[in-house]
Chain A
Amino acid sequence: MLHPFRYLAPQSAQELAAMLADHASDGKILAGGTDLIPNIRNGVFKPSVVIDVKKLPDASSLRLGADGLSLGPAVTVNDILRSKDARERYPVLCACAHELASHQVRNRATVAGNVVNASPCSDMAPALLCLDAVAVIGSGTGQRELPFREFFTGVKKTALKPGEWLDRIVVPASSAGARGSYLKLKRIAGHDLGIVGVLFVRLGGSLRFGVSSAAPTPVLVDTVTAKDGPDQAAATVLGSVSPISDVRGTKEYRQHMIGVFVRRLLAEVK
């Protein structure tokens, strides 16, 4: 049973900005709903207004342009997996998308929602961090751009200010062709939240690790060099994270498995 709320579906950025101004404290943005609806059901949020962004112009647009791959706020995780452009040019994005939840959830869950929630266990955040993706942030007074490196500020906290929304995600053309692999440790073979996840990406001569479920925010580690051996690489990655013990695993188990994953990924992604 859901707490009662009103449903609003703005058709333009101006309408959305006005609604967010009117409901700064009691409004919640709805994209895929796969986090928001259960959170309302469980009493985590009690919004009086839910504002659906799926009817904004270009909300579902997934477009390859000169600047890279552009994702509107309603682009779903499975839209990424079904996109030939994403599969051919941004396989790292697909590697992470494929590990997110179940098929039905991926049919609704949006890439934007997965990062705006800023959960430490976000599966899309490691890819967006490693691929130098940029958040295009909308507001009533215009747009600003922010690299995802500066987007996550704490557990479930982002750099979005009141009245702002994530309008578009741009994965730059300079990251096309990056190769990588994402290893996600789960309690079961089927879908589950991660215990830890490690993405490894080779982009030109640069080595990047994106780590989920191992710190208050998803973490980018770009200080491993091609000269580092596996042990040094694992030590560098572990030095950048601060895993905790919780219901899904202990701090020690997470640290151990991050090291295992870093070594495996270095051997796997050549």
Chain B
Amino acid sequence: MKITLTVNGDRYERECAEHHTLLRFIRETLGLTGTKEGCGMGECGACTVIMNGRAVNSCMVLAAEADGAVIQTIEGEAKGPTLSDIQASFERNHAVQCGFCTPGMVMSVKELLASDPHPSVDAIKEAVEGNFCRCTGYTQIVEAVTELTGTGAKGGLDHV
């Protein structure tokens, strides 16, 4: 079937198999491989993209369901060599180690900040509760957001 959607501001009209996921469409049809497949079943959040303003696991959305949708992926963050504010704060705060979870983390944080520019630490934790990071221990990720928003004290987070 043919679907039309907007990804990072660009409009695409493409053929897709009816059983393909949005994740597969983004990676294989559009060639945007920043979005990752981790578990493929909604546990890890590596495939998180923003669809019509909401962070979703693109491994559990069919490309067919995204017909007409507005999608944002990690490729829409940096403008040329200039990182977005969220990306830059992740870099400054060492919120990235292997980087596999980072595109999904950034998308979840982006949705949060769009609706709540000054989130509490609890709200930040809740926003990324569906994004697994097996490297950083999460503290730096929460700190990257609090530094950006001026909410919550840096350090001293007992656990996430």
A residues whose Cβ falls under 8 Å from a Cβ of B:
2-7, 9, 30, 33-34, 37-38, 40-42, 50, 52, 54, 78, 101-105, 107-108, 189-191
| Pairwise interchain contact A41-B130, C-beta atoms closer than 8 A | no
Point out the residue from B20, B45, B128 that lies within 8 Å of A2, measured CB to CB.
Answer: B20
> Which residues in A have their C-beta under 8 angstroms from that of B48?
104
B120, chain A: closest CB distance, angstroms: 14
Nearest chain-B residue to A76 (Cβ)?
Answer: B54
| Pairwise interchain contact B56-A108, C-beta atoms closer than 8 A | yes
Nearest chain-A residue to B17 (Cβ)?
Answer: A4
| Pairwise interchain contact B19-A103, C-beta atoms closer than 8 A | no
Point out the residue from B19, B20, B40, B60 that lies within 8 Å of A33, measured CB to CB.
Answer: B60
Instruction: Say yes or no: is B74 at the interface (Cβ < 8 Å to chain A).
Output: no
> Which residues in B have their C-beta under 8 angstroms from that of A105?
42, 57, 60, 130
24 A-B residue pairs with Cβ-Cβ distance under 8 Å, sorted by A, are A2-B19, A7-B1, A33-B61, A37-B21, A37-B59, A38-B40, A38-B42, A50-B18, A50-B62, A52-B64, A52-B65, A54-B65, A101-B42, A102-B42, A102-B45, A102-B130, A103-B129, A104-B42, A104-B45, A104-B56, A104-B131, A105-B42, A107-B56, A191-B129
| Pairwise interchain contact B62-A104, C-beta atoms closer than 8 A | no
A103/B60 contact (C-beta < 8 A), A38-B41, A52-B65, A54-B65 known: no
| Pairwise interchain contact B129-A102, C-beta atoms closer than 8 A | yes
Instruction: Say yes or no: is B126 at the interface (Cβ < 8 Å to chain A).
Output: yes
B105, chain A: closest CB distance, angstroms: 11
Cβ-Cβ contact count across A and B, 8 Å cutoff: 86
| Pairwise interchain contact B159-A38, C-beta atoms closer than 8 A | no
A44, chain B: closest CB distance, angstroms: 11
Point out the residue from B41, B55, B128, B129 that lies within 8 Å of A107, measured CB to CB.
Answer: B55
Instruction: Say yes or no: is B127 at the interface (Cβ < 8 Å to chain A).
Output: yes
> Which residues in A have their C-beta under 8 angstroms from that of B18?
4-7, 50
A103/B42 contact (C-beta < 8 A), A33-B60, A50-B62 known: no
B136, chain A: closest CB distance, angstroms: 15
Point out the residue from B17, B20, B64, B130 that lies within 8 Å of A101, measured CB to CB.
Answer: B130
| Pairwise interchain contact A108-B129, C-beta atoms closer than 8 A | no
> Which residues in B have their C-beta under 8 angstroms from that of A37?
21, 42, 59-62
